[in-house]
Chains A and B, each alone.
Chain A
């Protein structure tokens, strides 16, 4: 069935047909026709943000916590350029987004018109794909293709730039099922020969480890289920990247904790000493590998990834498998079971013993004493008091983010939203709003540092307007903590511009927004204050004053291998050599 309608109506119709229920956006001149259509319907909820960057991060939070495609709608020029950080963030973390931008009318493109920017040009390197919709007749098909590209293969953000005259003009609407999606059909099934090879290696391995990443979560809840089945049936220890937390439960007996620069001692040591590394949906990021020439020197490396360009990009894969995690895990389990469910139990038991010895180091140990709250203690209490809740956590970027990854436990996928690849300060507040919109009855907490939090604090207005009871849990050390830590370790303790003077009174700030403010500086009051935050029916800004000079450990210094971690009480003198200092 073909239908005639305006381009603006097509946008709304296509969103409905794609199952979209929420759009995060901000109106402006070049998208007014679309906003007019949004006004005249009730199927799609529009959440008005306070800044376009907030719209994209909110859509990311929505997408990451639901597994659906997130949608943002912004105007031309500054609306589009403000969306760039969010697009880049989503690209690096493989979050499926469709971002719609208005554009000046086609006949004015190139004339430096008011609020004109070359949006498609600017966003080409920070989207998976983008389109300039020049004709109303093909607009609906482009919209459907955009959703297809965003969610297929390795997910990512896409953008459609829609000139205003295309929104006003009428054309023929094409339904999703009539749209040509053959333009993009990535391979999802892994090569069965390589899978057989992997199973053979797995049967013989003496010191195997699973190293999993965000790809498991992107693949869907079934992938996490299959992963749990495989890990528990084989008894092989498992670690995960920052992006993959929750795919395997933190309470699981084979769980090693997060790996990487601020990963757990036992996880990094297991990665270094293993003889078989099975990478599932992770990409050997530089935060994970440390010094590449000394990265897990004795292991056979299996790399399962849906994106062929991830394979051999950083680390040479001995057994590369290109495919979707769910499909590949299904095949691995099938082959492994058919071959008799064999693993080298004796050797793995010894390996587990070795790992228990590493655990005894207690790398996350800290001492809470005196009248100052240690950030680790704040997170440990937050964990204890919220873990029984239906809980979602977002974070900003920095020390607090790493502590949150270390001290909070995630039992399920899609419960942990953080900016991993791009490291975007200001991500957490809007992301928490996106998560809360998708899960109105759940407890959504943004673990923040005061510096990151200030970067998108305007979104508190969104939280109050839409009655989203997000909890902003700010570990306030009046410092840019991670910058300060690096300056201490690398730059002769010259703390160049890494402290915040003139911070706002967060309680008054909360009240100014119409939210609740809580301040806590005494460890003895912390539990009560956290309970007050949880029990308050509405958005809260929690100003948790913590130790100002705490460093985040363990830490693999830049340019060092996994087995040369700095631990909490260890001396940090000369920890990073000149070669490592230039790395970030």
Chain B
């Protein structure tokens, strides 16, 4: 009788590991999902991701067509090409989902995110924070004698870079909206 030679607490023996990998490369994709704006539709989309073990890096949702009651969900997700294909197919079969667009493969797209940063401090650090905010074209939307709240719009990488710079200068809080994305061009 074969003994169970599995390390305690090991999770690497999951049945899912038996799947062939079409490619091992983990890719990041931005998906735009057009849905009926009805109760529970966001829960269906999120439940799909959690229930099937997919990743959500960023998620934004808002009604974009008030007459047609359509909402646009923008999801940034990561996975192997096979997993990304599964995610799209699974999203596509949710009844209130109208369309699933993979902006990463459907040609160039614009991605923007808005973020608010609260930075506290005084003296040189305060001056440096304001100078860097100017370089990044961030607006100070609130200020006290000890703090600023900066507003910054840009690609996620730009927001990350700004956050890194603000950290030693007294960054205490960040709020990010998540990515909104549209394909470039007339189509």
New A-B pairs, 5, CB < 8 Å, besides A153-B93, A582-B6: A121-B43, A128-B95, A184-B95, A578-B5, A583-B13
| A292 with B89, Cβ < 8 A, contacts A124-B43, A492-B1 known | no
Q: Provide a sorted-by-A list of 5 A–B residue pairs whose CB atoms are within 8 angstroms.
A: A129-B94, A129-B95, A149-B95, A309-B90, A491-B4
How many angstroms between the C-alpha atoms of A275 and B96 in the bound complex?
A: 40
B168 contacts partner chain A, Cβ-Cβ < 8 Å: no
Q: Which one, A125, A183, A491, contacts B47 given CB within 8 A? A: A125
B96-140 CB contacts (< 8 Å) to partner A? 96
Residues from chain A with Cβ under 8 Å of B5 in the complex = 578
Is A312's CB under 8 angstroms from B47's CB? no
Partner of A493, one of B1, B6, B19, B39: B1
Tell me the nearest residue of chain A to B50, going by C-beta: A125
When the two chains form the complex, which single residue of A125, A184, A186, A313 contacts B86, counting CB atoms closer than 8 Å?
A: A313
Which of A213-221, A330-338, A413-421, A569-577 is found at the contact surface with chain B? A569-577
| Complex contact B18–A292 (CB within 8 A) | yes
A307 within 8 A of B: yes
Contact: A579 with B13, CB < 8 Å? yes
The answer to whether A581 has its CB under 8 Å from any CB of chain B is: yes
B3 CB within 8 Å of chain A: yes
Task: Tell yes or no: B15 within 8 A of A by CB.
Answer: yes
CB distance from B101 to the nearest CB of A (A): 15
A-facing residues in B9-35 (Cβ within 8 Å): 13-15, 18-20, 22
- Asked if B95 contacts A316 (CB within 8 A), the reply is no
Residues of B within 8 A of A578 (CB): 2-6, 13
Q: Which A residues touch B4, using CB under 8 A?
A: 490-491, 578, 581
**Interchain CB contact under 8 A, A183 and B96:** yes
Contact between B89 and A577, CB atoms less than 8 A apart: no
Q: Which residue of A lies closest to B81 (CB)?
A: A312
Of the candidates A120, A128, A581, A584, the one having the most CB atoms from chain B within 10 angstroms of its own CB is: A581
Q: Which among B2, B36, B47 has the greatest number of chain A C-beta atoms within 10 A?
A: B2
CA distance A519 to B1 in the complex (A): 37
Instruction: Give the most central of B22, B89, B90: most A CB within 10 Å.
Output: B89
A308–B2 contact, CB under 8 A? no
- The listed residue (A124, A132, A308, A582) touching B92 by CB distance below 8 A is A308
Q: How far is the CA of A132 from the CA of B5 in the complex (A)?
A: 49
Q: Is A113 an interface residue (CB 8 A)?
A: no
Shortest Cβ distance from B85 into A: residue: A312
Is there contact, CB below 8 Å, between A291 and B18?
A: yes
Q: Which residues of A contact B22 (CB under 8 A)?
A: 316
Closest to B95 in A: A129
In the complex, which residues of chain A have a beta carbon less than 8 angstroms from the beta carbon of B2?
A: 490, 574-578, 581
Contact of B18 among A121, A186, A559 (CB under 8 A): A559
Closest to A583 in B: B15
**Residues in A whose Cβ lies below 8 Å from that of B55:** none
Set B6, B19, B20, B40: member contacting A124, Cβ < 8 A: B40
Determine the distance from Cα of A582 to Cα of B6 in the docked complex, in whole angstroms: 9
| Closest residue on chain A to residue B93 by CB atoms | A309
Query: A124 touching B18 by the CB < 8 A rule?
Result: no
A37 at the interface (CB under 8 A from B): no
B3 contact set on A, CB distance < 8 A = 492, 578
- Taking the closest CB of chain A, its distance from the CB of B27, in whole angstroms, is 16
User: Once bound together, how far apart are the Cα atoms of A292 and B90, in whole Å?
Assistant: 21
Of all chain A residues, the one with the shortest Cβ separation from B48 is A125
Q: Give the distance to chain A from B147, nearest Cβ to Cβ, in Å.
A: 39
Quick check: A312 and B18 within 8 Å, CB to CB? no
Does A383 belong to the interface (CB within 8 Å)? no
**Do the beta carbons of A120 and B6 come within 8 Å of each other?**
no
Contacts of A313 in B (CB 8 A): 86, 89
CA–CA, A579 and B17, complex, Å: 11
CB-contact partner of B89 in A308, A489, A491, under 8 A? A308
Q: What B residues does A149 contact at CB under 8 A?
A: 95
Q: Is B143 an interface residue when CB atoms closer than 8 A count as contact?
A: no
Q: Say whether A503 faces chain B, with CB atoms less than 8 Å apart.
A: no
A286 within 8 A of B: yes
Q: Given B14, B47, B85, B93, which contacts A307 in the complex, CB threshold below 8 Å? A: B93
The residue in chain B whose Cβ has the minimal distance to the Cβ of A573 is: B1
Q: Is A169 an interface residue (CB 8 A)?
A: no
Q: In the bound complex, how far is the Cα of B16 from the Cα of A584, in angstroms?
A: 12
Q: How far in angstroms is the closest Cβ of chain B from A346? A: 33
Give the chain B neighbours of A153 by CB distance below 8 A. 93
User: Could you tell me the distance between the alpha carbons of A559 and B18 in the complex, rounded to whole angstroms?
Assistant: 8
B180 to chain A, nearest CB (A): 26
Alpha-carbon distance A59/B86, docked complex (angstroms): 31
- Nearest to B92 among chain A residues (CB) is A308
Look across to chain A and name the residue whose beta carbon is closest to the beta carbon of B38: A131
Query: Please, which residues of chain B bring their CB within 8 A of the CB of A291?
Result: 18
Q: Are A124 and B13 in contact (CB under 8 A)?
A: no
Is B69 on the interface with A (CB-CB < 8 A)?
Answer: no
In contact, A183 and B95 (Cβ under 8 angstroms):
yes
Q: Give per-residue flags for A276-307: 1 if the beta carbon is below 8 A from chain B beta carbons, else 0.
A: 00000000001000011100000000000001
Residues of B within 8 Å of A316, CB to CB, are 20, 22, 82
The yes or no answer to B184 lying at the interface (CB within 8 A) is no
* Chain B residues within 8 Å of A233, by CB: none
Q: Is the C-beta of B167 less than 8 angstroms from some C-beta in chain A?
A: no
Q: Report Cα–Cα, A579/B39, bound state, in Å.
A: 43
The CA of A573 and the CA of B2, in the complex, are separated in Å by 7
Query: Is A124 a contact partner of B44 (Cβ separation < 8 A)?
Result: yes
Which of these, B13, B36, B39, B86, contacts A309 with CB under 8 Å? B86
Q: Are A582 and B13 in contact (CB-based, < 8 A)?
A: yes
Contact between B93 and A312, CB atoms less than 8 A apart:
no
Nearest 5 CB-CB pairs, A to B? A309-B89, A582-B13, A129-B95, A578-B5, A574-B2
Q: In the complex, are the beta carbons of A286 and B15 less than 8 A apart?
A: yes
CB-nearest residue of chain A to B19: A292
Residues of A within 8 A of B15 (CB): 286, 582-584
Evaluate contact between A309 and B47: CB separation under 8 angstroms.
Answer: no
B185 proximal to A (CB < 8 A): no
Residues in B neighbouring A309, C-beta threshold 8 A: 86, 89-90, 92-93
CB-based contact B95/A124 at 8 Å:
no
B51 at the interface (CB under 8 A from A): yes
